[in-house]
Amino acid sequence: MTNRPVAPPRAPCWVDLWTSDMEGSRRFYSELFGWQAGEPRPDHGGYFMFNRAGIPVAGAMGDMGEARADNTWKPFFATDDIERTLKLATGHGATVHLPAMVIDDLGSQAVIADPAGAVTGIWQPGSFPGFTVLHEHGTPSFIAIDVHDYQTEVTFYRQVFGWDPIEEVDSGHHYAGYMDPENRRPIAGIGDEVESLAPGESPHWSVFWQSDDVDASVAKVSALGGAVLTEAADHGLGRVARVADPSGAPFWLFRPKG
């Protein structure tokens, strides 16, 4: 378990879901993880938060006017200077989808597409730090992405977010793991195992939600109308399965070894 008052700069600090079925997503994730779905905020475009034991764990929103939800999870990375981070990002090949904007007293956000095209949020916290509990059932464990141009992606996150990942090669595949600077646990990873992507699927950040029992969670996903994309199996750091909610948003279930 990791408890923190605020994410260290450069680390993943929040995730949110852009869903085409707001009510369905509220039911699905509440039943799967035991989350409580907050009320949509009209002043924030209908955005709402999922809470776990009263603590915010993720956000979600539906269609934004003519922009239709693509049923994906998006991570946010913390910064203490959002304008500087945006300047670095565009200077190293990112495209800005949403320029920096202040959200009440909560903080400032921006959204970019990194050089691989993966949509990524940037968050400079004010009163809202993002998620503060990790590595428990129903909380984020880490995020990961597989890309075609591994070196460009690793260089981007080194230059823009100051990552100093641990790199390794296994069976011909490259992997760069970013460790939480406070406890040295893996919290993000970049790889080139693109065969794990479905045909036509673009690189994107995936959220690994921790589960006390991956197999039981997989069965619950199916019972709730979701899909099993990759059956549960033991790999590397623990037991994992790739699933999708009933609207098609993919994510991973993960139980670490030990």
Query: Does pTM surpass 0.85?
Result: yes
All residue ranges of the chain with pLDDT < 50 are none
Phi, psi of 150 (to 5 degrees): -60, -45
3-state secondary structure of 57: strand
Six-digit token string for 117: 């095209």
In this predicted model, what pLDDT tens digit does every residue of 245-258 receive, in sequence order?
A: 999 999 999 999 87
Pairing of strands 2-3, 72-78: unpaired
3-state secondary structure of 153: helix
Contact 77, 25 (CB under 8 A): no
The per-residue pLDDT of the chain, averaged, comes to 94
pLDDT at 39 (0 to 100)? 93
Contact 227, 184 (CB under 8 A): no
Set out the domains of the chain in order of their start, with CATH numbers: 8-125 (3.10.180.10), 134-256 (3.10.180.10)
Helix and strand numbers (H, E) in the chain are 4, 18
In this predicted model, what pLDDT tens digit does every residue of 133-152 receive, in sequence order?
A: 999 999 999 999 999 999 99
Residues 6+ apart with CB under 8 A from 33: 52, 137, 138, 209
3-state helix/strand/coil string of 95-152: EEEEEEEEECCCEEEEEEECCCCCEEEEEEECCCCCCCEECCCCCEEEEEEECCCHHH
